[in-house]
Amino acid sequence: MKRIVYREWRIPSARYWSILGILAAVAGLATLAFGYMEHTGHWVSGMNNSVVWGLPHVFAVFLIITASGALNVASIGTVFHKPIYKPLGRLSGLLAVALLMGGLLVLVMDLGRPERLIVAMTHYNFSSIFAWNIFLYTGFMVIVIAYLWTMADRQGQPFNQSVGILAFVWRLALTTGTGAIFGFLVARQAYDAAILAPMFVVMSFAYGLATFMLVLLFAFDEEGRPIGQKMLRRLKNLLGIFVAGALYFNLVYHLTNLYVTKNDGLESWLLLHGGIYTLMFWVGWVLIGGLLPLGIIYHPVLNKDRNWIVAACALVVVGGLATMYVIIIGSQSYPIQMFPGQTILESGFFDGVNGQQAAYHPTIPELLLGLGGVAIGLIITVVGVRVLQFMPESLADDVVALDEETLSQEAFVTPS
């Protein structure tokens, strides 16, 4: 094992600026979309009084939980003492802060009165999990920046372990809080479930790691930095466990609902008759976000191919967005059951006449706003790795720490 050397991202200037230019263009379009929606009012979006949170929230929540998941790689190195992950810690921290920033911006830009953000920062109602999240999110950024300092500065080194543990506990609280935004809602049947909080934590592990791997592999490929099989194997195995974990929680959530008779209507709607939401659930959440990546990761041949690993990560991200779409929009689309045992024949406010789901058609400005959050997250990451030493020069097999998984074999090799 050699000494880990961190270096700025030294891709050719033209390449760097073109990447930044594309991202800035997306962020610029998102700014225009924001201006348009705020100026005219939300009527230009697909959101309405039945589906009150739309596509921007899908992106925002995805980015927020992905941010906390991206920090896991650093936590595994610091908190769980896995030396092979240590060189990845800095990039992990940077990505976590960047994605959280992107997600929060989308959330704020979609407010009905974004100019009143100062009100949200000066008036707190502590019975609201939203108010708590304001502290959890800002606290996360401060702690992770401190964590980065302990990783990068010799003076901060002694605090690395303690700040790392704090960051790990905080990120668990943050994702629990994000899951609780939905889990605490008694009004809607698909929410109102404590399991949503841990489910969001496990999903954040999967989405965060998949996004981290995509960024890492792209950045290393662009500059020709080596990543050895040892590192790739560890990362993709971990991703497999996280994806399987997320699927497990999904299964338990639906089995519980299926067991409880009052939720039969919801489950038969979502699993069989929900139209786009049923499609998103089976094809997006289960197949693309779960079974396909698992198939690649545990395939004896494909899992050794770097491109297939990239494909598995991309599938997890796409599946993650579909999952958020089902959880956030699908759950609102299913009518609130105000009168159990009765059918609503007529309503002046779309109360689910004859069980009909609420309509929601996402619009281009909403999509642009959501993509803008992704772009902001990536801009911060790209600029960060360009100007500061966030990435190790090499992750080749002879550079990274000994792989404990194969330690038993190596330890028993007879010296020649």
Residue from 3, 13, 14, 123 touching other proteins (CB under 8 A): that is 123
- Interacting stretch for other proteins, rule CB under 8 A, among 111-119, 142-150, 306-314, 399-407? 111-119
| Of 62 and 360, CB closest to other proteins | 360
Query: CB of 351: closest distance to other proteins in angstroms?
Result: 6
Alpha-carbon torsion 252, 257, 259, 264, what sign?
negative
DSSP state, residue 414: P
* Element containing residue 363 per DSSP (H, E): none
Number of residues in contact with other proteins under rule CB under 8 A: 51
415 phi and psi, to 5 degrees?
Answer: -65, 135
One-letter amino acid at 399 equals V
Interacting residues with other proteins between 169 and 188 (CB under 8 A): 181, 184-188
**260 touches other proteins by CB under 8 A:** no
Q: At 54, list the tokens.
A: 């739309």
387 Cβ neighbours under 8 A, 6+ residues apart: 8
First-to-final CA distance of the chain: 20
Q: Which of 8, 222, 223, 351 is in the footprint of other proteins by CB under 8 A?
A: 351
The whole-angstrom distance between residue 136's C-alpha and the CA centroid of its chain comes to 16
Least distance from other proteins to the Cβ atom of residue 44, Å: 8
**Pairwise CA distance, residues 357 & 46, whole Å:** 15
Q: Which amino acid is at 176?
A: T
The answer to the question of residue 345 lying near other proteins (CB under 8 A) is yes
**Tokens at 130, concatenated:** 């939203």
| One residue of 13, 49, 261, 408 binding other proteins per CB under 8 A | 49
* β-bridge mates for residue 6, sequence order: 392
Considering the complex, state which of residue 47 and residue 216 has its C-beta at the smaller distance from other proteins.
47
Q: How far is the CA of 301 from the CAs of 18, 295, 307, in angstroms?
A: 35, 11, 12
Distant-in-sequence, close-in-space partners of 52: CB < 8 Å, separation ≥ 6: 332
Q: Which of 48, 237, 278, 389 binds other proteins (CB under 8 A)?
A: 48
- Binding other proteins (rule: CB under 8 A), the pick from 224, 300, 348, 415 is 348
CB of 361 to other proteins, least distance (A): 8
Give the whole-angstrom CA distance, residue 132 versus residue 37.
27
Residue 134: partners with Cβ closer than 8 Å, 6 or more residues away: 120, 121, 124
Rule CB under 8 A: which of 200-239 touch other proteins? none
Min dist CB 108 to other proteins, Å, is: 9
From residue 297 to residue 336, the character string flagging contacts with other proteins as x (rule: CB under 8 A) and all else as - is -----------------------------------x---x
- Interface with other proteins, residue 261, by CB under 8 A: no
Q: Does 338 bind other proteins (CB under 8 A)?
A: yes
CB of 47 to other proteins, least distance (A): 8
**8 Å CB contact between 182 and 292:** no
Name the residue nearer to other proteins (CB basis): 284 or 352: 352
Smallest gap from residue 185 Cβ to other proteins (A): 5
Exposed/middle/buried for residue 172 (C-beta within 10 Å: 0-12, 13-18, 19+): middle
Give me the residues that bind other proteins (CB under 8 A), please.
Answer: 38, 40-43, 47-50, 52-53, 111-114, 116-117, 119-120, 123-125, 127-131, 134, 181, 184-188, 332, 336, 338-339, 341-351, 358-359
